[in-house]
């Protein structure tokens, strides 16, 4: 095997590598979806898998998401580990019934006799100039369904590590890939991918003492950027990358908020009924006496995802995050 030096890799490359390594390590791992074979996926994330492992292991399916996920259920029943690609966030909706009525609850329905180790990869979120139905943040739908793990990486190392964990999990995992980070680069050695924290753990990406930004996926780099900009205002912001929305890491989140006493949840998904409401409620229930200010949310507006020429107004940016931080009742301190 050739040795590859540490060099910048993209998130997309790390995801491909994760699937390739999982397929090489375990012959029951099967990748399937629309255009994943010959083309290598519309984002090229499955590039080369069909060539290396054959079309029976990386399969171009008919264009039917419920059929894809439904077939994956049957394959998992027979001992395979399907990794399903939903081409875009909004194209995954036809598969909702399979996901909710079967994938999420088969283990429970059968008292653990029929677990379904299925990974559902969903490129999600905006910021790539996609026309309508190509930029949804659909995580709240998945979070509201017991039995699913909902995971989203924000770094190249996590893309690899979390996807390997998702594929190895005996539970179904909805693996949300922030598509605008597909081409983000980081120093990462594919020959020696470092271990990452397990699914279910949040990670502090940037320590800070003034306030905690709680975020995930595509909004993590935005929050890191906001934290840098905040230094000019005299704020030392902490950034927590949630990584796993289900299971939710109350421990890490609460420890962070208790340290700083202030929290802002940041995500692209709509605010009303979005993940931020749940997270803010959990913090309030557990850390009320440590809070110096109400937990605030910076989220996408409560509108259908905007057309590409207007999406920059919708997506949480550095300014909107800093405006929220400014509203954390600092004056009350003095």
Partner 1 sequence: MTVMEQRGAYRPSPPPAWQPRMDPAPLLPDAEPYRVLGTEAAAKADPDLLRRLHAQLVRGRRYNTQATALTKQGRLAVYPSSTGQEACEVAAALALEERDWLFPSYRDTLAVVARGVDPVEALTLLRGDWHTGYDPHAHRVAPLSTPLATQLPHAVGLAHAARLKGDDVVALAMVGDGGTSEGDFHEALNFAAVWQAPVVFLVQNNGFAISVPLAKQTAAPSLAHKAVGYGMPGRLVDGNDAAAMHEVLSDAVRRARTGGGPTLVEAVTYRIEAHTNADDATRYRGDAEVEAWRAHDPIQLLERELTARGQLDEAAIEAARQDAEAMAADLRERMNRDPELNPMDLFDHVYAETTAQLREQRALLRAELEAGQDDKEGDLR
Residues that bind partner 1 (CB under 8 A): 30, 56, 61-62, 64, 66-67, 69-80, 82, 94, 97-98, 101-102, 105-115, 146-147, 149, 169-171, 200, 246-248, 250-251
What number of H helices and E strands is found in the chain? 12, 14
Q: How far is the CB of 253 from partner 1 (least distance, A)?
A: 12
Q: Alpha-carbon distance 303 to 309, whole Å?
A: 15
Measured at the CA of 68, the angle between CA 67 and CA 69, to 5 degrees, comes to 95
Nearer to partner 1, 17 or 243 (CB): 243
Nearer to partner 1, 75 or 181 (CB): 75
Nearer to partner 1, 67 or 306 (CB): 67
Nearer to partner 1, 112 or 307 (CB): 112
CB within 8 Å of 13: residues ≥ 6 apart: 156, 190
DSSP 274: S
Q: How far is the CB of 86 from partner 1 (least distance, A)?
A: 14
Q: How far is the CB of 120 from partner 1 (least distance, A)?
A: 14
State yes or no: is 192 an active-site residue.
no
Catalytic hit among 30, 102, 134, 267: 134
Query: DSSP alpha helices (H): ranges in the chain?
Result: 11-25, 49-53, 65-77, 96-98, 106-109, 139-143, 156-168, 219-230, 250-260, 275-287, 311-314, 318-326
CB within 8 Å of 54: residues ≥ 6 apart: none
Q: How far is the CB of 329 from partner 1 (least distance, A)?
A: 29
In this structure, the chain runs to a length of 334
Q: Which residues are marked as active site?
A: 134
């Amino acid at each position: 095997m050739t040795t590859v030096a540490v060099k910048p890799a993209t998130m997309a490359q790390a995801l491909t590598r994760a699937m390739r390594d999982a397929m090489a390590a375990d012959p029951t791992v099967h990748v399937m979806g629309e255009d994943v074979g010959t083309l290598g996926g519309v984002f090229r994330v499955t590039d080369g898998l069909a060539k290396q492992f054959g079309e029976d292991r990386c399969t171009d399916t008919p264009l039917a998401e419920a059929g894809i996920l439904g077939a994956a259920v049957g394959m998992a029943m027979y001992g395979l580990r399907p990794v399903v690609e939903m081409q875009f966030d909004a194209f995954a909706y036809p598969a909702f019934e399979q996901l909710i009525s079967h994938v999420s609850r088969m283990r429970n329905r059968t008292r653990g006799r029929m677990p379904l180790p299925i990974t559902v990869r969903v490129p999600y979120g905006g910021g790539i100039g996609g026309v309508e139905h190509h930029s949804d943040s659909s995580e709240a739908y998945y979070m509201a369904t017991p039995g699913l793990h909902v995971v989203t990486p924000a770094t190249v190392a996590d893309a690899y590590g979390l996807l390997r964990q998702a594929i190895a999990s005996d539970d179904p995992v909805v693996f949300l890939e922030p598509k605008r980070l597909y081409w983000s680069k980081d120093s990462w050695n594919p020959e020696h991918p470092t271990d990452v924290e397990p699914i279910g753990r949040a990670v502090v990406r940037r320590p800070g003492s003034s306030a905690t930004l709680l975020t995930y996926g595509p909004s993590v780099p935005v929050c890191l950027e906001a934290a840098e900009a905040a230094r000019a205002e005299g704020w030392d912001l902490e950034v927590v990358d949630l990584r796993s929305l289900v299971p939710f890491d109350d421990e890490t989140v609460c420890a962070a908020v208790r340290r700083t006493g202030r929290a802002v949840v940041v995500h692209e998904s709509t605010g009303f009924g979005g993940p931020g409401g749940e997270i803010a409620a959990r913090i309030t229930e557990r850390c009320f006496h440590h809070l110096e200010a109400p937990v605030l949310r910076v989220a996408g507006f409560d509108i259908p995802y905007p057309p590409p020429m207007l999406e920059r107004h919708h997506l949480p940016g550095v300014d909107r995050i800093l405006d929220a931080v400014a509203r954390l009742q600092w004056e009350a301190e003095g």
